[in-house]
Structure 1
Amino acid sequence: MTDESTPAGTDDAKPRRSRGGGGGRRRKPRRRNKVLVATAWTAASVVVLGGVGAGFLYFKLNGNINGVDINSALGTDRPADVDNGSQDILVLGSDSRSGDNAKYGKDEGAARSDTAMIVHVYKGHKKASIVSIPRDTLISRPSCKTDEDRTDPGGQRQMFNTAYEVGGPACAVKTVEKMSGIRMDHYLEVDFTGFKKLIDTLGGVDITTKKAIHDKDSHLDLDAGTHTLDGEQSLGLVRTRHGVGDGSDLGRIQLQQAFIKALLDQVKDVGVFSSPKKMYDLANDATSAITTDSDLNDVKSLASFANGLKGIGAGDMKMVTLPIQYDPNDPNRVLPLEKADQEVWDALRADRPIPKSATDQSAGDKGDAGDVVAGH
């Protein structure tokens, strides 16, 4: 699909860096990040402002961005690049508890994708659809290169989030492309610490909880009512599973979608032009928080990409969970509803709205967790 971002010139100040599966990577520990689509979208928005700075500002922000060469890693084993003016972006995170994220729990080994969303931006860049993929979805995972330059054969009934564990961002993208038949134009990833800093710099997020949320696992303790959540509380909200709904990952996805809309509504009202320091702090936090594909791995390209998204508000987005059903053999896993899933992928591939019929029978959007949170 068409990428409307402006190609960046050669950047001699910062070498390209590679993460995830793909040939030619150095064997070094992979930076393991937590992804929230809200942070990625906000990062893309505020970097437009940061990109207007000169000299030091440009090179400082440019040096913050981490990049993954997905194109090189996957080569020609990808769906066709359909030129219809739309864009598809995989927003992905991991459940690693290492490094700065250690306070959120024990690191149980290799990182896994904790949150996964496909953002489809329609031609004209006025509307978007977001499809959340539950991490416990059992899928057919393709073979992928591992960090040890071996090949994992993949297989049937593999949890979706193991793709990132096995082969990093490249394997995650390959898995999504095999599932959907849609080529991902871009990849975005954001970590725990970056998310918290960005929310704090924004001054918090105003939400109303219609029910009390008490979850010791995510360290969240909110009574029903209106709150301004700081970064720590916001992170707790989008991570909570046991405080709302049936305690499943499906409920957490609904909370994340509600929070994203509340955040996007408020980002538009942030007075960054009136405060150069706040403008810089936001741009610095945003670019430090994200990992992108190599096509967006510099301020100029990221700013151009963000400029194409800035007109899309919360009311312009359709958010759904990939149509699924609970696995009759394991209530902790879910299975794709293949016919309904195909309706979703066919609609996005043709740049059409997702039909309501695609999600009517899905367990993914049936809960009431998304009704717990409201923006202002």
Structure 2
Amino acid sequence: MDTDVTDSAGTLAEPEAPAGDEGGATSARPPGDGPAPGRRRWRWLRWIALAVSLLLLAAAGAAWWFYQRLDAEITTDTATATELRTHEKERPKPVVLDARNILIMGSDTREGKGNRKYGRDDGGKRSDTTILLHLAAGRDSATAMSIPRDLMVEMPSCRQADGTRSRAGTAQFNSAFSIGGAACTIRTVEKMTGIRIDHHVIVDFRGFERMVDAVDGVEVCLPEAVDDPDARLVLDAGRQTLDGEQALGFVRARKTLGGGSDTERMERQQQFLGSLVKKVQSNGVLLNPARLYPVLKAATSSLTTDPGLDSLKDLYDLASSLRDVPADKVQFLTVPREPHIANVNRDQLMQPDADRLFQQVREDAPITVVPRDDQEEGSPESAESDSDAFTGTNAAVGMCG
């Protein structure tokens, strides 16, 4: 028999209240009051999670776009890599595998956007500045060694732009770049020093200017005012911050700064680069992506590198490895040289100092660099202790102390 669900009046009986509902009250909300608070909270959390996900995707997309853009601006020098492979048997073997030797060449070519304003294009290119940068295996020091452009060297036979080969023989160092480009310069340096070049970088005028502007200029201190029309340079005496164009004129000027010698120009370049390194290390550029991006953009847009350094990751890893090098261990010096025996307007290596320096670089041995004033004015005791030291400067000194 079916259970009777009506009362005596024939109406439906009220359902029993659930257990625990005192007085038969229910937890149901009256219709029209909207979702329960718990459901509203979960709905907002879902929207927030969606918004955060979209923001993360947008940020990742922007970061990837910036990365691809910067990466694509680096020029890869495959021709040099190919030429060096053909001469692999004659090249020096690496001695300390974790150390790195990078040849930095400042090209004075007027080709390329922004470079023509620095002079007439004669159809050729020369290495205006050449620096061999040695990074110690432990990344606890970096030594930048300038090679004078007027140094007379033994240059190998090099492949020229028209496919012919030059004649091997004694030549002025900076002619190697104009004759056979980076490959000829690298082979000449390796022949002279016995140091294996692991990577190379070519920077043009515009690239140097942009990198200085990217760090908001570099401070210098001048003992007297400068007015050099050839270098497009007019500066007051005293402490001041140079922008990119002023800095380029400052490191290239010869006629109106000091005695006009190439030696003084190289020393000024070293002091300026020390100030640049000091600023980059001190203002957190390497740790701040917002400040690092303009520097990387300036660098990548004007750099030509070997295939081992032709990506943004390669360059960033290189910069990061230098982040913790103490400023006083970022050292600058010039290859020991003296007036050439046959022409006082040219240089030759000064021995045995030059060979001693090259050996220390090859073997990744510590190199002591002291300012010229310290060597000239030091006591006999300090002179004896610094007998194996080389004249130069470091990033801790800078140009204003």
- Whether TM exceeds 0.5 here: the answer is yes
Choose the corresponding residue for 1:72, options 82, 102, 107.
82
Matched, 1:118 2:132: yes
Unaligned runs of 5+ in 2: 1-59, 377-389
What residue in structure 1 maps to residue 270 of structure 2? 257
1-structure distance, mates of 2:81, 2:109: 25
Q: What whole-Å deviation, never above 9, does each CA across 1:128-152 have from its counterpart, x for those lacking one?
A: 2221101011111011111222211
Q: Is the 8 A contact 1:58 1:299 kept in 2?
A: yes
What residue in structure 2 maps to residue 139 of structure 1? 153
Aligned-pair CA distance for 1:356: 6.8
Q: What whole-Å deviation, never above 9, does each CA across 1:285-315 have from its counterpart, x for those lacking one?
A: 1211211111111112222222222223532
What residue in structure 2 maps to residue 167 of structure 1? 180
1:73-92 alignment, distance < 5 Å: 73-75=83-85, 76=88, 77-92=90-105
Aligned-pair CA distance for 1:343: 0.8
2-structure distance, mates of 1:52, 1:144: 46
What residue in structure 2 maps to residue 216 of structure 1? 229
2-structure distance, mates of 1:91, 1:272: 21
1:86-235 alignment, distance < 5 Å: 86-99=99-112, 100-156=114-170, 158-235=171-248
Choose the corresponding residue for 1:59, options 68, 71, 85.
68
Aligned-pair CA distance for 1:211: 3.0
Q: What whole-Å deviation, never above 9, does each CA across 1:329-366 have from its counterpart, x for those lacking one?
A: 43321112242211111111111133679x989xxx98
Q: Is the 8 A contact 1:68 1:291 kept in 2?
A: yes
Specify whether residues 245 and 274 from structure 1 end up closer, same or farther in structure 2 by C-alpha distance, changes over 3 A only: closer
Specify whether residues 306 and 356 from structure 1 end up closer, same or farther in structure 2 by C-alpha distance, changes over 3 A only: closer
- TM normalised by structure 1 equals 0.77
Q: What whole-Å deviation, never above 9, does each CA across 1:63-96 have from its counterpart, x for those lacking one?
A: 0111123443212131112234211110112222
More helix per residue: 2
What residue in structure 2 maps to residue 11 of structure 1? none
2-structure distance, mates of 1:98, 1:288: 14
Q: What whole-Å deviation, never above 9, does each CA across 1:166-188 have from its counterpart, x for those lacking one?
A: 11111111111111111011111
Unaligned runs of 5+ in 1: 1-50
Task: Letter of the 1:232 partner, please give it.
Answer: E
1-structure distance, mates of 2:246, 2:183: 31
Q: Is the 8 A contact 2:360 2:367 kept in 1?
A: yes
Query: In angstroms, what is the RMSD of aligned CA positions?
Result: 3.0
Task: Letter of the 1:62 partner, please give it.
Answer: D
What residue in structure 2 maps to residue 10 of structure 1? none
- TM normalised by structure 2 equals 0.72
Structure number with the bigger relative contact order (C-alpha 8 A, sep ≥ 6) is 1
2-structure distance, mates of 1:52, 1:290: 25
2-structure distance, mates of 1:240, 1:161: 17
